[in-house]
Amino acid sequence: MQVPAHVEYDKATSVEHALTLLARYAPEERDLAGGHSLIPMMKLRLAQPDVLIDINGLSDLCYINLTGDQLRIGTLTRHAQLLDSPLVGAHFAILHDAERVIADPIVRNWGTVGGSLCQADPSEDLSAAFAAMKGTMVIRGLDGTREVSAREFHTGPYETVVRPAELLTEIRLPLRPGGGSGYLKVARRAGDWPVGAAGAAVWLAGDVIADVGVGLAAVGADHFVAAEAEDYLRGRSATEENLARAGEIAAASCRPVSDQRGPADYKRHLARELTARALRIAVARARGEDRSRPA
């Protein structure tokens, strides 16, 4: 039988209230969103906070909207809500691709976007997707709000730049012309973590890749990013040869480790192949050629 250790509990009624409570109990507090990462960690004593601050009542952190040229996602948005959003599907196909393969439909009903990001599991899909999309994280504390690039959000496995008594409140994604994106994952079974996964976003100017983002999950890529592959592609044309070459560069630049999900050389193979395939999907979508789900 797995149960968490003794813990105190308080329920936040507003973002300000949550920040006040977090500050009162820091650093032995954890904010509790869906709890689908935190509660299993508490059962295993990998996390043992003294106090849980339940933020599920903060409905003002639950939204998806387009403001100017930015998509804004409140961090209490449930995975299922992100997957159900036509706005997200129309502009950021990568997020729908990723959400379809994150855990299972029941877990997605209650797990939150912000919770997944703050858990900072090195195999977490949305971290790679938001890195590929070059998103911005909005973090609030009692002293004010700061913005951090999605690529600087994670400082290591299970570690982020969010400090005690701070709350990740919003993710912003730029909506730019000529864009297309996609995400691919290989898992051992339905609902599992990835053996390897890659997300790609491209912004085309004619046939030239004006800008590109490549995110990798579960293969030991720094900050979930394949920066060398991006550098190679930027300014080149979106040919099959160039996309394949980018996959090779991504594979060479990551550092997968062998574990129960697979050997390192297989994960490196996945990094190469999934990067190239995700790029192909992204380019096809940027050209308006492909609206389908990836295979």
Partner 1 sequence: MIRLTLTVNGTEYSRDVEPRLLLIHFLRDDLGLTGSHWGCDTSNCGACVVWLDETPVKSCTVLAVMAAGRRIKTVEGLASGAGLDPVQRAFAQCHGLQCGFCTPGMMLTARWLLDHNPNPTEADVREAISGQICRCTGYENIVRSVLWAAHHAGDA
Binding site for partner 1 (CB under 8 A): 1-9, 11, 32, 35-36, 39-40, 42-43, 52, 54, 56, 80, 103-107, 109-110, 190-191
Torsion region of 235: left, alpha or beta (phi above 0 gives left; psi -120 to 50 gives alpha): left
H-helix or E-strand spanning residue 65: strand 64-67
User: Is the CB of 104 or the CB of 207 nearer to partner 1?
Assistant: 104
Least Å from the CB of residue 53 to partner 1: 11
Least Å from the CB of residue 190 to partner 1: 5
Least Å from the CB of residue 126 to partner 1: 18
Give the SS3 label for residue 80. Answer: helix
- CB hemisphere CA count around 120 (13 angstroms): 17
* Cβ atoms 128, 95 nearer than 8 A: no
User: Is the CB of 33 or the CB of 128 nearer to partner 1?
Assistant: 33
User: Is the CB of 155 or the CB of 292 nearer to partner 1?
Assistant: 292
User: Is the CB of 40 or the CB of 174 nearer to partner 1?
Assistant: 40
Please name the residue that has the structure tokens 């129960």.
260
Least Å from the CB of residue 261 to partner 1: 15
User: Is the CB of 80 or the CB of 227 nearer to partner 1?
Assistant: 80
User: Is the CB of 5 or the CB of 252 nearer to partner 1?
Assistant: 5
User: Is the CB of 5 or the CB of 205 nearer to partner 1?
Assistant: 5
Q: How far is CA 294 from CA 98, 198, 215, 274, 280, in A?
A: 10, 12, 16, 11, 10
Least Å from the CB of residue 32 to partner 1: 7
Short-list 279, 229, 214, CA closest to 290:
279
Least Å from the CB of residue 84 to partner 1: 10
* Cβ atoms 207, 225 nearer than 8 A: no
User: Is the CB of 261 or the CB of 280 nearer to partner 1?
Assistant: 261
Q: How many Å apart are CA 113 and CA 127, to the nearest integer?
A: 10
Least Å from the CB of residue 182 to partner 1: 20
Least Å from the CB of residue 57 to partner 1: 9
- Burial track 81-105 (b if 16+ CB lie within 10 A, e otherwise): bbbebeebbebbbbbbbbbebbbee
* Cβ atoms 71, 91 nearer than 8 A: yes
* Cβ atoms 21, 10 nearer than 8 A: yes
Rounded-to-10 torsion of CA 236, 242, 245, 251: 70
